[in-house]
Amino acid sequence: MPIKVQNDLPARAILESENIFVIDEERALSQDIRPLEILILNLMPVKEETEIQLLRALSNTPLQVDCTFLMLSTHISKNTSASHLNKFYVPFEKIRRRKFDGMIITGAPVENLEYEEVNYWEELKTIMEWTKTHVHSTLHICWGAQAGLYHHYQIPKYKREEKLSGVYRHKVLHHKVPLVRGMDDYVMVPHSRYTEVRRLDIEKHPQLRILIESDQAGIFLVMKEDGSQIFIQGHPEYDRMTLNNEYHRDVKKGLTPALPCNYYEGDDPFARPLLSWRNVSNTLYANWLNYYVYQTTDYILEMDRED
């Protein structure tokens, strides 16, 4: 699938080196096609790394995707330059009248805080509420999934006794649901988090369905029955080296992190990590774009009228 990106977005060169089909703005305008409009709220600290991961994950269907990156006005990023944000990201006020086929809300390293303690929580609540009328289907990742479940359904999160880090075996529960179509009975998925949501709380809401879970890692994939809200409590978009970088970063800080589970061959932290989740990641994102965005969204996306 061609991913439409701004001509000089740094992620473009990396994606092209991986033979991912990327088209620039001029070529996209010459094609007689209505691309899917996907809005990405990138809350991760190292934003350029997350841009690459998400654009890669979105590149595995024959659909054309036009991605817009959204930034918060109430939070200043410490790990991404202001010039990068100003050039490639837009504030909410600039797009609030637009409608989008799909949206992705990423995770963020704030899970040990109460939601109300996060300095951008009020703005995030406004955006999550806005998605109900302006986005056809919204995908929430990791802390973004926990935040979405809390905001929309008052489902609490719980602190784990120790950090969950590694690649875990999950069971696919409902093969007939298009979101998990084509997946094996069991899939491997990365996790990196200190908190969790639990089955009993989700089951109190009949409009939510648990699609994938793990005996070790707990809930992974939850969907609202109509597909308008999808919650991923994990990181299928992670690169091969992401957990490795997190682990060695913590070691350098003088911490004593546990070795990521099911990740290094022979549990050697200096060995090349095993990549065992790329297929489930590609399948999940392709199914979301196809069945819950492309097949059901309106052909013409209208804007709100001026007040």
Which residues are identified as catalytic? 142, 235, 237
Residues 173, 210: Cα–Cα separation, whole Å: 8
What is the spatial distance between Cα 102 and Cα 200, in angstroms, rounded to a whole number?
28
Strands (E), the chain: 3-4, 22-23, 36-41, 65-71, 89-91, 100-105, 135-141, 158-172, 186-196, 208-214, 218-224, 229-232
Distances (CA, A) of 119 to 52, 75, 110, 156, 255: 26, 7, 10, 19, 26
- The contacts of residue 68 (CB under 8 Å, 6+ apart) are 37, 38, 39, 40, 90, 95, 100
Tokens of 161: 């006794």
**Structural tokens at position 40:** 């990405």
Which tokens hold the place of 195?
Answer: 């908190």
Other beta carbons within 10 angstroms of residue 252's beta carbon come to: 8
CA gap 37, 69 in Å, rounded = 11
